[in-house]
Amino acid sequence: MSSDVASPPETSLKRTSLYPQHAELGARFCSFAGWELPIYYTSILKEHEAVRTKAGLFDVSHLGHLEVSGPDAAAQLQLLVTQDLVALEPGQAIYSPMLNSRGWIMDEMIFYRLDPGRFRMVVNAANGDKILSWLKSRLKGGAAVEDLREKVGTVALQGSAAAEIFGKVSSLVLKSVPRYHVVSATVVEKPVWIARTGYTGEDGCEIFAAVEDLPAVWKGLLRAGQPEGIQPAGLGARDTLRLEAGLPLGGSDLDEKTTPLESNLDWTVQWRKGPFMGREALERQRREGITRKLAGFEMKGAGIPRPGYAIFQGETRVGQVTSGTMLANNRAIGMGYVPPQVAKPGTRIAIEIHNRKVDAEIVKLPFYRRPKQ
């Protein structure tokens, strides 16, 4: 057997403060963006299922925490992102791409307005250095960036049982905090920020804690969630969950050659807010039209789409797969870039899998939507 996809951990990788817990739980590790992280503990499918039906706990401490503060923080950040950060209320959070002057996505992140003059940003692990130096070069007096990556870690508690489990380790009622909001609280008596965000398509929260407090938070939640069937969940399930929820992954579905208009992130572009980096390029693209668009598809024939596979319409190669997997329900799903006229739900395409063209159909994203409670 051999595979060109799965790679064993390399040496000199960074480890999160939860590494001993992962090892104790029997995690299988992988390397991701310079970090040695659990890919799964028991099985990707089981962990995926646990998050969809009960709850899962993820160590996502590889995500980079940066903080921009100062009286002029909102106004200056406003010029660097597509979303309207000035309109963001303290206690609110918002997802936004950060573009370069060509309108290409340097990174996408969530901004949490902790105080009127204080924005926490959580950025992709691979892009932390780049975004930090970008901010340093762009911010002027009245706003400064602080690198919290060595100090702050994150665990994500996700699933329909998340609120119930959370209630056992904190006096905060999770459901009293609306989605895309952030509050300070204590969990197992440790000071934390509770963010009502996630990357799985389920209810839950992300917990920001000092790296030295994170093991207590992690252990407390796993213990508290035992009756509900909580599972520690690795990067493997995180990836299949986010794909099923139709959420793009930076570095796979999004990169520095992609604009928000091509990647279904039109909704993050606040045209009415005034100038921002990349705006002119985006306006030009809006005028001229996009030539490719990120679309979801489902396999009709037998096979699993993987990143890099070619997408065909008839005999013509029209695009490339950027994400793909097969889920326990035998649904093989993926995302990829195709011309806009191909990107319409119902369009028949084929994916070239091991030198065979296998039938697939463009479908509306997301593949999964959590049932209303």
CB of residue 355 vs another protein: minimum separation in angstroms? 11
Tell me: does residue 302 bind another protein (CB under 8 A): yes
CB of residue 90 vs another protein: minimum separation in angstroms? 40
Looking only at the bridges linking them, the beta strands covering 118-123 and 182-187 are unpaired
| CB atoms near residue 173 (< 10 Å) | 10
Tell me: does residue 28 bind another protein (CB under 8 A): yes
Stretch that binds another protein, among 3-11, 64-72, 130-138, 222-230 (CB under 8 A): 3-11
Which of the residues 29 through 68 are near another protein (CB under 8 A)? 39-40, 43-45, 48
Identified binder of another protein from the candidate list 304, 347, 357, 366, rule CB under 8 A = 304
Stretch that binds another protein, among 70-78, 98-106, 258-266, 298-306 (CB under 8 A): 298-306
Cα–Cα separations (whole angstroms), residue 340 to 292, 317, 360:
6, 14, 17
Tell me: does residue 240 bind another protein (CB under 8 A): yes
Stretch that binds another protein, among 70-78, 127-135, 201-209, 232-240 (CB under 8 A): 232-240
Tell me: does residue 2 bind another protein (CB under 8 A): yes
Stretch that binds another protein, among 60-68, 141-149, 303-311, 339-347 (CB under 8 A): 303-311
Helix (H, G, I), strand (E, B) or coil at 152: strand
Which of the residues 245 through 264 are near another protein (CB under 8 A)? none
> For residue 295, which of 249, 262, 267 has the smallest C-alpha distance?
262
CB of residue 329 vs another protein: minimum separation in angstroms? 10
Stretch that binds another protein, among 13-21, 189-197, 234-242, 338-346 (CB under 8 A): 234-242
**Total residues at interface with another protein (CB under 8 A):** 26
Q: Which of left, alpha, beta for 94 (phi over 0: left; psi -120 to 50: alpha)? A: beta
Identified binder of another protein from the candidate list 70, 97, 246, 303, rule CB under 8 A = 303
Which of the residues 137 through 166 are near another protein (CB under 8 A)? none
- CA atoms lying within 13 Å on the CB side of residue 269: 23
Alpha-carbon torsion angle 351, 362, 235, 258, nearest 10: 90
- Residues facing 338 on adjacent strands: 293
- Mask for 318-337, x = binds another protein (CB under 8 A): -------xxxx-x-x-----
Nearer to another protein, 39 or 269 (CB): 39
Q: Which residues of 317-337 are buried (b: 16+ CB within 10 A; e: fewer)?
A: ebbbbbbbbbbeeeebbbbbb
CB of residue 130 vs another protein: minimum separation in angstroms? 27
Helix (H, G, I), strand (E, B) or coil at 22: helix
Tell me: does residue 355 bind another protein (CB under 8 A): no
Contact call for residues 93 and 110 (beta carbons, < 8 A): yes
CB of residue 49 vs another protein: minimum separation in angstroms? 11
DSSP one-letter code for 271: G
CB of residue 298 vs another protein: minimum separation in angstroms? 14
Q: Which residues of 138-167 are buried (b: 16+ CB within 10 A; e: fewer)?
A: ebeeebbbeebbeebbbbbbbbbbbbbbbe
Which phi and psi angles does 297 have, rounded to 5°? -145, 160
What is the rounded CA–CA span in Å between residue 102 and residue 133?
Answer: 18
CB of residue 134 vs another protein: minimum separation in angstroms? 32
> For residue 43, which of 55, 59, 26 has the smallest C-alpha distance?
26
Where along the sequence are the contacts to another protein (CB under 8 A)?
1-3, 5-6, 28, 39-40, 43-45, 48, 236, 239-240, 302-304, 306, 325-328, 330, 332, 354
